[in-house]
Amino acid sequence: MRKTVRHLADGREILYFDDTPDAPPREAVDTRDIPPVAAASEIRRDPLTGEWVVLAAHRQTRTYKPPADLCPLCPTKPGKPSEVPESDYDVVVFENRFPSLAQGVPGEAATVDGAGLVPVAPGRGRCEVVCFTSDHHRSFGELSPQRVRTVVDVWADRTAALSTLDDVEQVFLFENRGEEIGVTLHHPHGQIYAYPFVTPRTERMLDTAAAYRAEHGRHVLGDVLAAERKAGTRIVAEGEHWTAFVPPAARWPVQVQVVPHRQVADLTELDDAERDDFARVYLGVLRRCDGLYGRPLPYVAGWYQAPKHRDRELSWLHLELFSVLRTADKLKYLAGSESGMAVWVNDATPEQIAGRLRAAATLSS
């Protein structure tokens, strides 16, 4: 894989990752006349839950559902400049033009109204966009295993690079797919959030892992993985180094965890064989997901990685995919119990979900 670092017209960094052997040099210049990014994010900590909230009012003007011929993630065409100056690319990463978090956000740590009750600080971090292919009409599930392996290498590269930034505590990589999820750009892409704090979900998982290790001397996800592989009833796909299964307490109508058999803290620690095997297993999961209802499944897929500075020994890297689609034409809405109390009610059992996904492999082949 060849990596080339360039800059866009407003100074943002863009990185080309090429796996095509004869890919041309990446020398195209961004000719657009666009102003520098002016992010004004801040973070505030909820005094009742202790959770940080990101406030990014400048994102109200971000690009919203443009027509395909004006997609900002497609390669640049004559008369139609985009976020990617090249006429083609393999995988590309660039700083988000409308970031929730950004480096250099002005301000100092304080409290709201100076009352000492609600901590507030500049929303410093970094947000990046990852385009998996230059083909606007493809999906992640239609990529080749070689391209998925390239994407894994890119994710690892960005995890390592963003973890060196002073204001970053945790790196989260994710893909949103489908309008039902809230996607406003249909080009196959993901995002990376480099947070200035450890996320609430991660904090909860680390606390659980610490308590379990204190009682049993082992990692909770390791024991869950062993139990799932032994039972087999919720397994969706498996390989030499990874197993994909519906979690035994699934919250969503479609939910799959893809877990490596070896405990690693983040993507940078995966070896070549594990990265190759992930590509095969995950593509199998996505084929089943798209075969489930005979239509492209809207989903969120995100990587759970260790924080940068602490509790890495309590972390076990894994990917989780979930969908809000509970039938071919019905959505799972987050109503009072879920939104108000974070108590989830699922309309299907994990065993039913896994069975449907296994059966979908035949339908999608």
Q: Among all residues, which ones are annotated catalytic?
A: 189
Long-range CB pairs of 109-114 (<8 Å, 24+ gap) are 112/44
Q: Is the distance from CB of 257 to CB of 234 less than 8 angstroms? A: no
Output the CA–CA distances (angstroms, integers) from residue 212 to 218, 219, 242, 356, in the order listed: 7, 7, 23, 32
- Give the Cα separation of 19 and 96 in Å (integer): 23
Interaxial angle between packed helices 200-216 and 220-231, expressed in degrees from 0 to 180 and rounded to the nearest 10: 80
b/e 258-286 (16+ beta carbons within 10 angstroms → b): bbbbebbbbbbbbeeebbbbbbbbbbbbb
Tell me the CB-side half-sphere exposure of residue 342, using CA atoms within 13 A: 3
- The size of the chain, in residues, is 365
Helix (H) or strand (E) holding 215: helix 200-216
Q: Is the distance from CB of 123 to CB of 102 less than 8 angstroms? A: yes
Interaxial angle between packed helices 145-162 and 272-292, expressed in degrees from 0 to 180 and rounded to the nearest 10: 120
- Give the Cα separation of 204 and 353 in Å (integer): 25
Q: Is the distance from CB of 92 to CB of 192 less than 8 angstroms? A: no
Q: Which has the closest alpha carbon to 344: 334, 353, 352?
A: 334
Q: Tokens 């959770």 label which residue?
A: 51
Tell me the CB-side half-sphere exposure of residue 150, using CA atoms within 13 A: 24
Q: Tokens 């990874």 label which residue?
A: 242
Q: Is the distance from CB of 31 to CB of 9 less than 8 angstroms? A: yes
